[in-house]
Amino acid sequence: MNERQRARRPGGRSARVAAEVHQAVTDLIGERGYGNFTVGDVAARAGVADSSIYRRWGSLATLLTDVALTRLNARSPMPDTGSLAGDLRTYAANVAREITGPDGLAVVRLAVALSNNGQQDLQARDDLRDERTRQLQSMLDRARERGEHAPDALDVLDHILAPMYIRVLFGMGPLTPDYVDGLVDRLL
């Protein structure tokens, strides 16, 4: 395949391989749990060479966070409703729905697994956090540009996201719409 063909099928084979590798990771997390599989296991399951995974992702930790970020961005995208209250309510409701669903604690599990280990794992965890924080910051910046008074991203983390995650982690659900909206209203 030459460059022109590659350009005509943007991400064709590449996107297919990524999807297969992501699915293999998701399956292995479900079957064995974090820490109980290697890049070699992922490669075998996805039907690709180990070297393809290392070339593209660099490490298992980076691959794991890529899978988690892809899932987060698909299921809890940052909304743009035109008002800060609308954005935060929609965002909080998306997160609440996601984390009370099947394997809703995926991000917490991943963060726990990566916190256990070495510098490369911690860096991957920090990159995941920073990417989501950047997205949240963009949402808050848009509000400020509209002249709204917006909280800091860390306040959103502390007083909207953290309570929901901890309640699910300790089995204190369900996260009712009243509860979730109440977290947003309290912060605003």
**99 forms part of the interface with its own copies (CB under 8 A):** no
Instruction: Compare residues 41 and 50 and give the one whose CB is closer to its own copies.
Output: 41
Choose one: 13-21, 49-57, 144-152, 153-161; the region binding its own copies (CB under 8 A): 153-161
What's the rounded Cα separation, in Å, for the pair 66 and 28?
15
Instruction: Compare residues 18 and 160 and give the one whose CB is closer to its own copies.
Output: 160
Cβ neighbours around 89 below 10 Å, total? 21
Cβ neighbours around 2 below 10 Å, total? 7
Binding mask 165-184 for its own copies (x = CB under 8 A): xxx-xxxx----------x-
What's the rounded Cα separation, in Å, for the pair 71 and 64?
11
- Minimal distance in Å, beta carbon 9 to its own copies? 38
Question: Among 52, 75, 105, 131, which residue interacts with its own copies (rule: CB under 8 A)?
Answer: 105
**73 forms part of the interface with its own copies (CB under 8 A):** no
What's the rounded Cα separation, in Å, for the pair 53 and 41?
11
**111 forms part of the interface with its own copies (CB under 8 A):** yes
Which long-range CB contacts under 8 A does 152-158 form with residues at least 24 apart?
155/187, 156/88, 156/187, 157/133
Choose one: 20-28, 49-57, 60-68, 101-109; the region binding its own copies (CB under 8 A): 101-109
- Minimal distance in Å, beta carbon 108 to its own copies? 6
CB contact at 8 A, 63 and 53: yes
CA dihedral 126, 152, 103, 105 (to 10 degrees): 70
- Contacts with its own copies by CB under 8 A lie at 33, 35, 105, 108-109, 111-112, 115-116, 122, 125-126, 129, 154, 157-159, 161-163, 165-167, 169-172, 183
